[in-house]
Structure 1
Amino acid sequence: MKLCPAHLAAVSLAAASLGAHSAESTELNGRLQTIKERNFITVAYRESSIPFSYLGGNGQPIGYAQDICQKIVEKIKDTIDSPNLVVKRLAVTSQNRIPLIQNGTIDLECGTTVNNPERQAQVSFSTTYFVVGTKFVSRKADRLSTLKDLKGKTVVATTGSNTVLRIRGIDRKEDLNLKLLQAKDFSDSMLSFTSGRADAFFEDDINLIGQIAFSPNPADFALSTDTLSRDPYAVMLPRGEPAFKAVADKAIAGLYASGEIKALYDKWFQSPIPPHGVNLRFPMGDALARVIAKPTDSPNPADY
């Protein structure tokens, strides 16, 4: 039967209505809906987590983790159909990052946060985007390379970090009698160490390398031969938001599948980086290569 223009218009309207109904049946909920309704997303950054998330020469956050989070933001824009979504950025510390995710102040935390079972009870995490080993840095002249060398020494770590708890546990287990200082962030911890207030600074290996590389006299320092642990870094997300996490994971999976992650890695770990043009010369480890080949969000260090 041939339809007249009026009938065609009615059919088109019905189809549009059906499409709208279909969209409603899969309409956004939770954090994705909230972000769409308020038309902004808040991305957290760290001020001195080189090269993951730190302030560049213009005072704006840059880094490997920030670039990954930008990919997630773009995927969120597509998912919620908000191309003009406003991106707000907020500096966080090791101490306040989890509470600010929990209370909804921030939506994504893009820095150097370890995904572990204890934190899984409070927040959620994306697919792993880096794997680290915890070490300490000391002055070469002091000849401190193992944990036993630190017996009775003063060490520093960053307040609110996973490393603080780890040091306390090792101190008790090994009877090292350490004096533990805590500082606000990585740069403050490094300052406590370089100014002589501490004999060693404990942190994840790549963060220590970043702090050493940006120091006035990098050749004066050395990393420990002992590695305390192996841990996965991931984007921290609000807990109980599976749709939101799925978007983040999809964005990271896209980086891995396309091979774009290789260029991103080389940009931040194998090339001169702002603001001083320092090259960290940190080759990709086997653990991260395995994650890229087979993405996981496991908090278990044994899986890496």
Structure 2
Amino acid sequence: MRHSILVAFAAVAAACGSAALAQTTLEKVKANGSISVAYRESSIPFSYLGADGQPTGFGWEICGKIVDEVKKATGRADLKVETQAVTSQNRIPLMQNGTIDIECGSTTNNSERAKQVAFAINYFYTGTRFLVKAGSPVKSVADLKGKKVVSTTGTTNYQVLRKVNAERGLGFDLIAAKDHADSALLVQSERADAFGMDDILLYGLRANATNPNELAIVGESIQVEPYAIMLRKDDPAFKKLVDDTLVALIKSGQFEALYKKWFQSPIPPKGINLNAPMSPELRDNLKLLSDKPAT
């Protein structure tokens, strides 16, 4: 009997959940009078906690512009913004079950994830590049022949470098370090010639170094991947609102101003400048306005 009651309760709960998710995001937000905006706690400079413990960043500011448009679309000037911290592990499930309505962080838009969630127009591109000592002869992948190259264990970057090494017959010694800080330290202490990782993370590591001028980021990007705002799947009306907001920011010049603010100017909490120039891929997409995923 107890088992039957539990099964019945679960069925009712599932039905209620399905009914809630049957609403479009705009319908849900209008009915609830609130929108749940997800942030990352340390995804600098996209979405992270500032000195005041509140979310901030490039993606977070863009989310704020989107919320303004949601208020207009729903007629809810009193719309409440509920914030929700997410991680790499739980961000997609929380989007699928309706806990969060939008996520503006450093989420890669790829084909596998596109089976579970939707993505807006790509708003950043990153690829594997290399951190080296300033003045190093290493300027490209070809220069790694016979060198010592480090990457962080468990990352896609490590797998990419292993593949490139085999395919091009470069014969470099690929070392695995436990985290990004250890990888960078191997280069700084000259125990490795280069550290391969997402370029935006390398810019952050260089900016936080004791002497940033001692380090350089070199090489063409390998396996470039886009970051995009994440949304629920099969909700074309909300995706259009988000895409239209991004297009308006891009065409007005506000997007580029936000980029300069967060990637090429001192940012909180330490006033560090990442000095990360806009990639050719992102510049191209400001014209193409594509949401194409990485394969």
- Provide the TM-score with structure 2 as the length reference: 0.75
Equivalent residue letter for 1:72: I
SS in 1 for 2:109: coil
The answer (yes or no) to whether the contact 1:137–1:202 under 8 Å persists in 2 is yes
Bigger Rg, structure 1 or 2 = 1
Deviation for aligned residue 1:168: 5.6
SS in 2 for 1:114: coil
Structure 2: distance between partners of 1:152 and 1:281: 26
SS in 1 for 2:62: helix
1:229-275 Cα shifts (integer Å, max 9, x gaps): 22322101111111111111111111122222232222122322222
The answer (yes or no) to whether the contact 1:135–1:204 under 8 Å persists in 2 is yes
Equivalent residue letter for 1:155: S
Structure 1 residues 221 and 108, CA, compared in 2 at 3 Å: closer, same or farther? same
Structure 1 residues 284 and 116, CA, compared in 2 at 3 Å: closer, same or farther? same
Query: What's 2:15 paired with?
Result: none
Query: What's 1:91 paired with?
Result: 85
Query: What's 2:243 paired with?
Result: 249
Deviation for aligned residue 1:124: 0.8
2:143 aligned with 1:155, yes or no?
no
Structure 1 residues 153 and 292, CA, compared in 2 at 3 Å: closer, same or farther? closer
2:29 aligned with 1:35, yes or no?
yes
The answer (yes or no) to whether the contact 1:150–1:178 under 8 Å persists in 2 is no
The answer (yes or no) to whether the contact 2:151–2:158 under 8 Å persists in 1 is no
How does 1:71-90 map onto structure 2 within 5 Å? 71-90=65-84
Query: What's 1:290 paired with?
Result: 284
Equivalent residue letter for 1:213: A
Match of 1:193 among 180, 183, 205: 183
The answer (yes or no) to whether the contact 2:184–2:205 under 8 Å persists in 1 is no
The answer (yes or no) to whether the contact 1:126–1:235 under 8 Å persists in 2 is yes
1:77-125 Cα shifts (integer Å, max 9, x gaps): 2212222222222233333332332233322221122222222122110
The answer (yes or no) to whether the contact 1:50–1:63 under 8 Å persists in 2 is yes
Structure 2: distance between partners of 1:84 and 1:242: 24
SS in 2 for 1:42: strand
Query: What's 1:219 paired with?
Result: 213
The answer (yes or no) to whether the contact 2:41–2:49 under 8 Å persists in 1 is yes
Query: What's 2:200 paired with?
Result: 206
The answer (yes or no) to whether the contact 1:144–1:150 under 8 Å persists in 2 is no
2:257 aligned with 1:260, yes or no?
no
2:117 aligned with 1:123, yes or no?
yes
Query: What's 2:41 paired with?
Result: 47
SS in 1 for 2:123: strand
CA RMSD of aligned residues (A): 3.2
Structure 1 residues 100 and 141, CA, compared in 2 at 3 Å: closer, same or farther? farther
**Which deviates further from its counterpart, 242-251 or 94-103?**
94-103
Equivalent residue letter for 2:151: V
SS in 2 for 1:225: strand
Structure 2: distance between partners of 1:170 and 1:105: 40
SS in 2 for 1:213: helix
The answer (yes or no) to whether the contact 2:96–2:232 under 8 Å persists in 1 is yes
Structure 2: distance between partners of 1:170 and 1:100: 35
Structure 1 residues 262 and 215, CA, compared in 2 at 3 Å: closer, same or farther? same
Structure 2: distance between partners of 1:182 and 1:69: 33
The answer (yes or no) to whether the contact 1:51–1:207 under 8 Å persists in 2 is no
The answer (yes or no) to whether the contact 2:127–2:199 under 8 Å persists in 1 is yes
Structure 1 residues 94 and 172, CA, compared in 2 at 3 Å: closer, same or farther? farther
Match of 1:271 among 262, 265, 273: 265
SS in 2 for 1:284: coil
SS in 1 for 2:45: coil
- Provide the TM-score with structure 1 as the length reference: 0.73
The answer (yes or no) to whether the contact 2:184–2:195 under 8 Å persists in 1 is no
Structure 1: distance between partners of 2:98 and 2:119: 15
Match of 2:96 among 82, 102, 105: 102
Structure 1 residues 104 and 226, CA, compared in 2 at 3 Å: closer, same or farther? same
